[in-house]
Structure 1
């Protein structure tokens, strides 16, 4: 019988979170570091226009990420529960369907992006001065688009069987290679923003080859072969239903990004757009460790839920929440105490430093409690409860953020745009906490001794 790489059924929960979360967190931090360094290189060697172009491209990249999460998160939840139920053949079939579907969706969206690039970029806030930079960047991203969701889906599947180290290695290959190639292609070869795009896609291609080799050489517990790459609609339906909350969150982020970019251009121009890019990169670096912890929590939750061990499910939620909240608090303190230093890392332009630091101060106030919302959404995904997970994904982005972007700037100008984040955070966290506590009570009622 094939068994998970980590002892998801018996090992102490704190040790499991450390065992699975540390590799994921390291990989996430390296990935966030790449995004920081990429923006720093472009900001200092190309200019604020390049940072603004990356900001315009952000909604498209969110969509790219969403495709990977749609299949990867759904497949990971189903695979973890299937392994907990000792249904290994079903886990293989789920993985095969995930790879086939992400390939079809990724290719289709890449073709659409290349055919309608300029209208899409204008819709996403590209001004006349920013459009050439955004076009040059996204042209190469679209060409190699398919490898990004492929890597994301494969990484989720690897983590679902408790193998966090292989997932970490794949991410380190992609991000590490990117860190090396960026200065070479942007600066030494004088390729500018085009060099950044080529470095990104080539690095993801190498990460994909590593994961493909891992599966084809039989190192994984889940088997990948043409035998299992036959679309089964009952699997696709459940996989998409579970992954839909993550996809909806990314799709909503793209929609919010469009409206946010438009508001930034209206109330602050291209400098505000670049300031938002700086704020987003710093926030990403703070949030990545949190995502590393919840990635560790997901297979523990899914496996033990499948094994009907609800006590360990509750412990996983408790310990993950404590760790995530502590990490978020430390990150927020760093932002609030040193905003100008952080903004100054990306650019030498005084105006951009001033606006970037102001954005960081205003938008980061409630980050310490945001982890509760992240935990809540992943809990429902891991338990296979697609409805609540989808609601939490859409509540902050659609119901709260979009109306606030349309209303607050009318009263507070550009500051109102930055205020959207703390205002939506506090309400979303309150609703998420209520739903999470209610779910824990449901689990407590179902708690029964594990028969050995």
Structure 2
């Protein structure tokens, strides 16, 4: 019965299969995003706007280390999906064992210097002035839980590669719900401030790890590994590294973007401008959940069928995923355009932040209806194991286009130039991705 779940990826109708894969992924991302959103609301209302900015400063460092788990998970899961599609289970098992070993070695190894150099890292990422002290409290505690988060992110992608999106969804829901409950206890009831917010986050990572650990020990998983699977296998590590490097590079660029954005905005408008960016960042995580859910649901379908050399189904999965996610992107765009002014009041009553956030948010979401093509196109190359085009397309928006724009446009247009960089980068990267995806479809899938 367990084997049938992954086999379904090559048999069920694409539309039905994409919905079955995308809905749990979307719900999981929604709950995780709601957790981040509500956590920000709690912190903003129970501690203050400075606390929101402090958490935003810490996120790039902690998320980069945790992203190692996501990168290893995504790279390895592409191998696992294709191996299951090709009925090569020994390779799938060996890959999973190597993923666990690599995640532990890298994340634990980075937490130590991360703690040692925190007095340098926090100001470098915009934690200056009144932001520094609360950011330092939050950073110190959260970093202890980051290895657990990395293992959860790695395990979640493997669960999805097995064709079991419902369990992957639960793995995302558990820490989100746990964090909100602990936020209420630690911040509101026990009045622990930033330390309370940090301990709630760290404990939620541990809850997630406990669930993922249970899943792979239970009969729900096809991947029953033994001690031999943990031994490093260089060809597998190389493939994990090349494909996972796409995800890691993306997160590294995201962290660099946070560093630049926080510093540029602090210089232009002080702590309030950093808080504006923090709120918009949370809305990006929250509002785009259905589009990201379709992207996550698309990955195992494309990888499995490509491994089975069923190219007609791969092509259909691309078209269907782009259609569904574009329609969802349009709805998100309309919601932000009409309700941006109402949204900001949920986070804070700070007069400057309330005034500055809505127009900035409208700029940031202006190109939302077209981003589906860029996301699905980059994900396709990662799913089928083509690391170089996946790497280049993934970084085209955030790295090659967006970073130069936020360095140039603010010189001439101030803060408006910062916010206008978002839709311009979205438009240009979508055009580039569309060209390469169409060329790949004509060359390979036909």
Sort the TM-score into its range (normalised by shorter chain).
over 0.9
> 1:319 — aligned with what?
320
Residue aligned with 1:3, SS: helix
Q: Quick check: 278-287 or 394-403, which moved more?
A: 394-403
Using the TM superposition, give the Cα deviation of residue 65 of structure 1 relative to its aligned residue in structure 2, in angstroms: 3.9
What are the superposed Cα offsets for residues 341-382 of structure 1, whole Å, 9 maximum, x if unpaired?
111110011211111112101111001111111101110000
Q: Quick check: 26-35 or 416-425, which moved more?
A: 416-425
> 1:409 — aligned with what?
410
Q: Give the Cα separation in 1 of the matches to 2:225 and 2:112.
A: 26
Residue aligned with 1:8, SS: helix
Contact between 2:66 and 2:146, CA under 8 Å: does it hold in 1?
no
> 1:356 — aligned with what?
357
Using the TM superposition, give the Cα deviation of residue 112 of structure 1 relative to its aligned residue in structure 2, in angstroms: 1.2
> 1:260 — aligned with what?
261
> 1:3 — aligned with what?
3
> 1:449 — aligned with what?
none
Q: Quick check: 82-91 or 354-363, which moved more?
A: 354-363
Q: Give the Cα separation in 2 of the matches to 1:209 and 1:107.
A: 18
> 1:171 — aligned with what?
172
Report matched runs for 1:90-105 at 5 Å.
90-105=91-106
Q: Give the Cα separation in 2 of the matches to 1:415 and 1:43.
A: 24
> 1:18 — aligned with what?
19
Using the TM superposition, give the Cα deviation of residue 62 of structure 1 relative to its aligned residue in structure 2, in angstroms: 3.3
Q: Give the Cα separation in 1 of the matches to 2:398 and 2:370.
A: 17
Which contiguous aligned blocks of 4+ residues in structure 1 show a shift greater than 3 angstroms? none
Q: Give the Cα separation in 2 of the matches to 1:65 and 1:439.
A: 32
Q: Give the Cα separation in 1 of the matches to 2:350 and 2:162.
A: 47
Residue aligned with 2:9, SS: coil
Q: Does 1:51 align with 2:52?
A: yes
Q: Give the Cα separation in 2 of the matches to 1:368 and 1:217.
A: 41
Cα gap change, 1:227 to 1:53, in 2 (>3 Å): same
> 1:309 — aligned with what?
310
Contact between 1:4 and 1:161, CA under 8 Å: does it hold in 2?
no
TM-score in terms of structure 1 length:
0.96
Contact between 1:408 and 1:420, CA under 8 Å: does it hold in 2?
yes
Q: Give the Cα separation in 2 of the matches to 1:143 and 1:95.
A: 24
Q: Give the Cα separation in 1 of the matches to 2:97 and 2:437.
A: 32
Residue aligned with 2:5, SS: coil
Contact between 1:96 and 1:224, CA under 8 Å: does it hold in 2?
yes
Using the TM superposition, give the Cα deviation of residue 209 of structure 1 relative to its aligned residue in structure 2, in angstroms: 0.8
What are the superposed Cα offsets for residues 21-59 of structure 1, whole Å, 9 maximum, x if unpaired?
111111110000001000000111111100111221122
Q: Quick check: 65-74 or 228-237, which moved more?
A: 65-74
> 1:155 — aligned with what?
156
What are structure 1's unaligned runs of at least 5 residues? 446-452
Using the TM superposition, give the Cα deviation of residue 2 of structure 1 relative to its aligned residue in structure 2, in angstroms: 6.3
Residue aligned with 1:145, SS: helix
Cα gap change, 1:153 to 1:380, in 2 (>3 Å): same
Using the TM superposition, give the Cα deviation of residue 180 of structure 1 relative to its aligned residue in structure 2, in angstroms: 1.3
Q: Give the Cα separation in 2 of the matches to 1:178 and 1:143.
A: 16
What are structure 2's unaligned runs of at least 5 residues? none
Q: Give the Cα separation in 2 of the matches to 1:225 and 1:117.
A: 38
Residue aligned with 2:309, SS: coil
Contact between 1:62 and 1:253, CA under 8 Å: does it hold in 2?
no
> 1:64 — aligned with what?
65
Residue aligned with 1:146, SS: helix
> 2:272 — aligned with what?
271
Cα gap change, 1:302 to 1:190, in 2 (>3 Å): same
Q: Give the Cα separation in 2 of the matches to 1:338 and 1:64.
A: 35
TM-score in terms of structure 2 length:
0.98
What are the superposed Cα offsets for residues 283-334 of structure 1, whole Å, 9 maximum, x if unpaired?
1112222121111111111111111100000010011001111111111111
Contact between 1:332 and 1:368, CA under 8 Å: does it hold in 2?
yes
